[in-house]
């Protein structure tokens, strides 16, 4: 991948000595204890087969064979792919700026899940009323948190993180992640297809994943998602301007944008554009914060030199999705087996009896530099609350280091994590 190289592991008594409540009031200090949360339970590997002495007794050999078979089945079960609905309440398709661009979104509300919902694909134009939400025990949508993934990842790379966050929130908060163009289940105009599992003569020159294009996608998806989950909430003279909980129906929902790597650059640029809209009367949402995960201009630009060689070393295809899951963990792309089981299968598609990558990351190479150039200054210029999550302090460039010392944004360092910070440590 083109992303910064994995961080060196460090031993530190407190990786976040300067953690304060402002401007992220209510955000808990990261839980750095190992072995807690659903991730630790899912990543547990099956026990090794029992050891035997020198006896050649037939019964011992039979038991050894049976135990080996049981162990193999346990390993296969541990690597079995997990579907999206193990983590999300619904999936929906929303349109971007062009009707030909349809973005796949996975969403769930805060709070504990009562049970899995229907596996059907929701119509984003369907009306969701206050009454239907109340009947389901859901509060009026007050906040939407939209997650954008990195290059070659998908929305489901956020699955375990969103599941952990949801348990700390109530149902007034919607957590949603979307597949970027040319990734996952998102569909773009035929002129821009990369890999839909069939032969395609499309040239990489036709693929527009420029920084500006991705930022516009974030903004358009944000409006669509907010609109879907807040539809029918606006007050009228007939039903009054206050909801049953005493909140102003006319107040737009709050929006927080979260992005990893390529997605981090995209949400920062989208936030800059959204922030230019100062007319509160026409805004679809109130942008409150931006979270950028493990992408810094200086280290990202330096890593581009080795990005193509790194991508060339990854397998071009897999025999089964289970093989992809195993490779994700074995290669260190993520250290969290639970996340790999839901994330890896969403990044591949069956083609000619093999599973190949949906996103051809090398075709996006002409845009890599544009994603990160000027990112530090842009991030610092945002007028909303800003949070930067990093795997290592070496990621900070000079401009960000100075700004961080001046308290211009919040920083969280995540130990024992690779570049896929949110997958490795989803409970933070």
For the record, the structure tokens of 214 come out as 């991705």
For the record, the structure tokens of 174 come out as 């919607």
Backbone angles phi, psi at 191, to 5 degrees: -65, -25
Burial 44-74 (b: 16+ CB within 10 A, else e): eeeeebeeeeeeeeeeeeeeeeeeeeeeeee
Kind and range of the H or E run holding 306: helix 297-312
Query: Which of 182, 419, 422, 424 is the catalytic position?
Result: 419
Interior angle at CA 327, CA 310 and CA 49, nearest 5: 145
Query: Which of 243, 294, 392, 424 is the catalytic position?
Result: 294
For the record, the structure tokens of 296 come out as 């810094």
Could you confirm whether 149 is annotated as catalytic?
no
Would you mind telling me the total number of residues written for the chain in this entry? 428
Could you confirm whether 294 is annotated as catalytic?
yes
Query: Which of 157, 171, 220, 261 is the catalytic position?
Result: 261
- DSSP annotation of 161: H
Whether the Cβ atoms of residue 5 and residue 301 lie closer than 8 Å to each other: no
Q: Alpha-carbon distance 360 to 372, whole Å?
A: 19
For the record, the structure tokens of 358 come out as 């949906």
Could you confirm whether 419 is annotated as catalytic?
yes
Whether the Cβ atoms of residue 31 and residue 428 lie closer than 8 Å to each other: yes
Interior angle at CA 340, CA 91 and CA 223, nearest 5: 30
Kind and range of the H or E run holding 325: helix 321-330
What amino acid positions are annotated as catalytic residues? 261, 294, 419
């Amino acid at each position: 991948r083109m992303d910064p190289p994995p961080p060196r592991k460090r031993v530190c008594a407190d990786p976040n000595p300067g953690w304060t409540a402002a401007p992220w009031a209510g955000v808990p200090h990261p839980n750095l204890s190992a072995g807690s949360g659903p991730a630790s339970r899912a990543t547990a590997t099956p026990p090794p087969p029992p050891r035997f002495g020198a006896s050649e007794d037939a019964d011992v050999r039979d038991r050894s064979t049976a135990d080996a078979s049981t162990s193999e089945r346990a390993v296969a079960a541990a690597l079995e792919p997990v579907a999206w609905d193990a983590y999300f309440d619904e999936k929906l398709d929303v349109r971007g700026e062009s009707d030909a661009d349809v973005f796949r979104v996975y969403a769930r509300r805060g709070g504990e899940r009562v049970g899995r919902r229907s596996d059907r694909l929701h119509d984003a134009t369907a009306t969701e009323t206050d009454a239907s939400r109340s009947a389901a025990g859901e509060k009026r949508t007050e906040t939407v948190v939209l997650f954008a993934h990195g290059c070659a990842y998908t929305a489901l790379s956020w699955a375990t993180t969103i599941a952990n966050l949801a348990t700390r929130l109530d149902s007034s908060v919607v957590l949603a992640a979307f597949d970027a163009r040319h990734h996952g289940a998102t569909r773009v105009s035929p002129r821009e297809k990369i890999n839909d599992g069939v032969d395609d003569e499309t040239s990489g020159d036709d693929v527009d994943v420029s920084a500006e294009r991705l930022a516009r996608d974030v903004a358009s998806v944000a409006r669509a998602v907010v609109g879907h989950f807040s539809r029918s909430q606006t007050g009228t003279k007939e039903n009054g301007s206050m909801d049953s909980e005493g909140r102003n129906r006319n107040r737009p929902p709050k929006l927080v944008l979260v992005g990893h790597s390529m997605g981090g650059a995209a949400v920062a640029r989208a936030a800059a554009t959204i922030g230019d809209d100062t007319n509160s009367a026409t805004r679809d949402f109130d942008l409150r914060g931006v979270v950028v995960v493990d992408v810094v201009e200086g280290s990202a630009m330096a890593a581009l030199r080795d990005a193509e060689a790194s991508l060339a070393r990854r397998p071009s295809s897999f025999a089964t999705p289970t093989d992809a899951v195993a490779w994700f963990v074995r290669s260190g792309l993520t250290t969290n087996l639970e996340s790999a089981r839901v994330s890896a299968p969403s990044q591949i598609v069956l083609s000619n009896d093999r599973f190949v990558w949906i996103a051809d990351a090398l075709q996006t190479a002409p845009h890599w530099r544009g994603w990160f150039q000027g990112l530090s200054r842009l991030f610092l210029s945002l007028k909303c609350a800003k949070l930067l999550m990093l795997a290592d302090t070496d990621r900070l460039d000079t401009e960000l280091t100075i700004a961080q010392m001046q308290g211009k944004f919040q920083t969280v360092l995540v130990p024992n994590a690779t570049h896929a910070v949110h997958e490795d440590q989803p409970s933070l």
